[in-house]
Chain A
């Protein structure tokens, strides 16, 4: 069976901006694949190339072995695309939108009708289907959009930032739906700049930064590759700087501690990278006690995808996010998305 998606050495520029410099990854049939990266990393451009909305400058894109570039129509038949911004015609009802969608994918009349009913039912849209979509809340709009993307039973569902702007509960519902889809055999490719989302959902991940894939694998593999466990330590709820410094110096001398960082934003708590070992927390607490320092809170965890990102780029996803937001030219992006 051909891979669900092959993207090789994809490049795409808009004017002088190299949105995608070199992106390669492969999605296997029946998995949820997450494309993680900060805003402006090139995720959406990659998706636009995959979904035949943008012509790549260079590179290869295949969906189930079909070249998207040479056979766009056949590829489109296999892809269900759910864009980041839900585009509904607010004067149409949900059902009317789905009817239009069914015709655009050439579903035969009776089958189309069955599919529409099935999707309305599956996504819990019964009480909304015959109201104008202009009256919908954000979550319902997104669900209708998802119904439209799934109507023609695509092999591959592509979602660009599926939960941006949704409340927590809607997000969890969306996750559930995507997992059920995957379990029913649909391949799901989603982009996200939410770590938890990709961590919770994706079977495999590619982390993308500044138009380049910087790491890929299962979340677990990626974390293992970064190595070490993370320990978050609070001496007091708000520790004075001198105490934090003192503890830092002391903890650094422990053999299994690789790194200690004082987090000013979190009341001078200490973030440690440690070689995994069972009694790490006990040893740390004993050492603190011996030095006459209290322990307000201590927790050990595996590295997160953020640590993976940090290790590869030298900045946290949050920092990259903030930098991207401040350097963003929204007008230019709007223009780009219309091209």
Chain B
């Protein structure tokens, strides 16, 4: 506000006050603040689209390179008359959505470090879950774009295409996974001291969870101890049903999608587990959101 600018000398600051508490109630307020926070994320994306572009290209590279790596694996190795491309699609879809959600906390952490988060914390938000929901809506949209790109590319590479109902189950699975992981990542962004620590956590979580899941190889390939870990890994609970939908046109909620060493899991069972994980994630971050940064 140097010489270039001096405000009108006799500005009038009206003295009448905003009426107390708007009439819209909790839900109206919550929707208003959530949409505004979501809008910010989309404006950022629109002006800095590189993350989206990279986010779409990366899984496609996965598909093509990983697919090529195991192209000559004997047919049948990954299940009856399945080629690796068909097998891999489910793993790449889930892993891509998972990685995106796991990184959801980073922008919030940077907001914290730059003091922007204080702007939200001093505001009379209906609930700080609006911060979580805004991030979740944003990540879900990104994941949807990525998932569509992966499904289309896989179809092109010969993995086939589940029917509409199957696709909507896939969408539900991705939705459940992203919601829970986004919530946990945001919880970490509120709890950890800084972005270095958050990146460290993301780093030690991301790839190990991938390798200890059924994304790249079926349970039957693994040594017993890894089978146990893999079949308890939430990622497997998202990958296996999607894979089943890819490989079977006749399916129901009762179809057994994972034969874990400790028992069989049905399609409905995986959905239920993912839902419970979401509930647990949202409940567990509540104290972090509520606590004042004291």
Contact = CB atoms under 8 A, between A and B. Distances in A.
Interface string A67-94: 0000011101101010101011101100
Interface stretch (B91-99, B117-125, B180-188, B206-214): B117-125
A257 to B, nearest CB: 44
A291 to B, nearest CB: 50
Nearest to B6: A173
Nearest to B4: A137
B54 interface: no
A91 B124 contact: no
B8 A122 contact: yes
A53 B122 contact: yes
Nearest to A140: B1
B38 to A, nearest CB: 10
Contacts of B13: 122, 150, 180-181, 183-184, 186
Q: Could you say which interface size class chain B belongs to?
A: 35 or more
A101 B119 contact: yes
B8 A124 contact: yes
A238 interface: no
Interface stretch (B18-26, B143-151, B220-228, B253-261): B18-26
Interface stretch (A102-110, A206-214, A302-310, A320-328): A102-110
A202 B194 CA distance: 37
B263 interface: no
A254 B204 CA distance: 78
Interface string A134-171: 00010110110000101011010000000000110110
Contacts of A123: 7, 11
B114 A76 contact: no
Tell me what chain B mostly uses at the interface: helix, strand, loop, or mixed.
loop
Contacts of A91: 43-44, 47-48
A123 B6 CA distance: 8
Given A53-B293, A153-B17, A87 B124 contact: no
B121 A107 contact: no
Nearest to A145: B119
B153 interface: no
A167 B3 CA distance: 10
A174 interface: yes
Interface stretch (A192-200, A270-278, A331-339): A331-339
Contacts of A101: 119, 123
A109 B258 CA distance: 50
Contacts of B292: 52-55, 72
A76 B7 contact: no
Interface in B44-60: 44, 47-48
Contact of B122 (A12, A81, A85, A139): A81
A104 B33 contact: yes
A105 B7 contact: no
Nearest to B3: A169
Nearest to B17: A153
Nearest to B14: A184
12 contacts: A54-B293, A55-B292, A83-B118, A92-B43, A100-B39, A103-B37, A104-B125, A121-B8, A122-B12, A140-B5, A170-B2, A186-B13
Interface of A: 12, 51-55, 72-74, 76-77, 79, 81, 83, 85, 87-89, 91-92, 96, 99-108, 111, 118, 121-124, 132, 137, 139-140, 142-143, 148, 150, 152-153, 155, 166-167, 169-170, 173-174, 176-177, 180-181, 183-186, 335, 337-339
Given A87-B115, A173-B1, 14 more contacts: A53-B293, A81-B122, A87-B119, A88-B116, A91-B44, A99-B36, A107-B18, A153-B16, A170-B1, A180-B11, A183-B13, A184-B12, A184-B13, A338-B113
